[in-house]
């Protein structure tokens, strides 16, 4: 009876839906398509769940020894070899599926590791917003202090220039006064002699 979907069958067997498709293609599972949904045969699933061993019995009639009818199943050697080979093939397919999935995951992990490394490098080389704003604030503050210092120096320069003019004027007046005093003193000295 076809009552399990591909996904349900994959969940029951613990494999991917891709592996279910491979089993269907290899003839290990019978499938029936109804519209877009693929249904898997329940008895085939039960056989795979039980380890891939197909429960086939060959009954050979034996002579009746007792009054009871005894019948024992006899497995032929070729059937056992076939079952063993089927089981081995199923294990090989599962192994290959797992190996390919591991390779894919390793590739993804490598790519993510590279991305993380690049992100860490960017984070290491970038300046945080707080540090940037702090340096910008200090720069603005130093500009303000520098402008204030320039204004103070210009005012001091003007004061020194003005004071120098007054000192020159005073020195000139003192020099003229001294010359006049020497002239008066010289004149008085000449007059007294």
Mean pLDDT computed over 150-166: 94
What is the arrangement of strands in the sheet containing 2-5, beginning at the earlier edge strand?
A: 2-5, 37-41, 31-34
- Does the predicted model carry a pTM greater than 0.85? no
Average pLDDT, the chain: 84
Q: What count of other Cβ atoms lies within 10 Å of the Cβ of residue 21?
A: 15
Confidence class for position 56, pLDDT limits 50, 70, 90: very low
Helix (H) or strand (E) holding 150: helix 129-192
Q: Which residue has the tokens 């795979």?
A: 48
- Contact yes or no for 90/76 (Cβ under 8 A): no
Token reading at 23: 């089993």
Q: What is the pLDDT of residues 97-128, one digit of tens each?
A: 999 999 999 999 999 999 998 888 887 777 67
Inform me whether the pLDDT recorded for 152 exceeds 50. yes
Name the region of 108 (left: φ>0; alpha: ψ -120 to 50; beta: rest).
Answer: alpha
**DSSP line for 160-192:** HHHHHHHHHHHHHHHHHHHHHHHHHHHHHHHHH
* Residues 80, 78, 46, 8, Cα dihedral to 10°: 110
């Amino acid at each position: 009876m076809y009552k399990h979907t591909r996904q349900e069958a994959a969940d029951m067997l613990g494999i991917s839906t891709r592996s279910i498709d491979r089993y269907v293609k290899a003839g290990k599972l019978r499938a029936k398509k109804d519209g877009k949904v693929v249904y898997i045969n329940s008895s085939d699933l039960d056989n795979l769940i039980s380890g891939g061993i197909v429960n086939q019995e060959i009954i050979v009639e034996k002579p009746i020894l007792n009054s009871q009818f005894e019948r024992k199943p006899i497995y032929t050697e070729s059937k056992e070899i076939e079952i063993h080979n089927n089981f081995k093939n199923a294990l090989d397919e599962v192994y290959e599926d797992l190996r390919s999935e591991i390779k894919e995951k390793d590739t993804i992990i490598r790519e993510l590791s590279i991305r993380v490394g690049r992100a860490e490098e960017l984070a290491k080389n970038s300046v945080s917003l707080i540090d940037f704003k702090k340096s910008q604030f200090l720069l603005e503050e130093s500009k303000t202090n520098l402008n204030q210092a320039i204004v103070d120096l210009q005012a001091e320069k003007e004061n020194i220039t003005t004071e120098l003019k007054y000192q020159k004027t005073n020195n000139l007046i003192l020099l003229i006064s001294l010359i006049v005093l020497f002239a008066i003193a010289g004149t008085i000295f000449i007059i007294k002699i």
